Amino acid sequence: MEKANRNAFLVWLVLVVLTLVTYMVGKLGYGGVTVVALLLLSISIKGQLVIDFFMGLAQVHSRWKWVVTGWLIAVVLLIGLAYWISSRGVP
């Protein structure tokens, strides 16, 4: 197998495994701050893999890579913030 195809397959496999883990966590009803933090880490890893390998920005040294990565970080932080606010309860 060609190296590029092998790398794409391995990245795809990691994406599928992380997605299945996320699905099982939801299906089993796990929750809590630690679980949410791990799921947000999983989202970050999956997003960065898509950015680097499937969008082709791994070798790009430009603002575009930082813009897209910054957007990913912003979205993950906003999801975490929304969870934190909702877990505090409404006074």
Domain that holds residue 63: 3-88
The number of domains in the chain is 1
Q: Each residue of 23-40: pLDDT tens digit?
A: 999 999 998 899 999 999
Structure confidence at residue 21 (pLDDT): 95
pLDDT above 90 covers what percent of the chain? 67
Contact 40, 77 (CB under 8 A): no
Average pLDDT of the chain is: 91
Tokens 């990913």 found at: 72
d(CA 67, CA 58): 13
Q: Each residue of 64-83: pLDDT tens digit?
A: 889 999 999 999 999 999 99
Tell me the whole-structure pTM to 2 decimals: 0.85
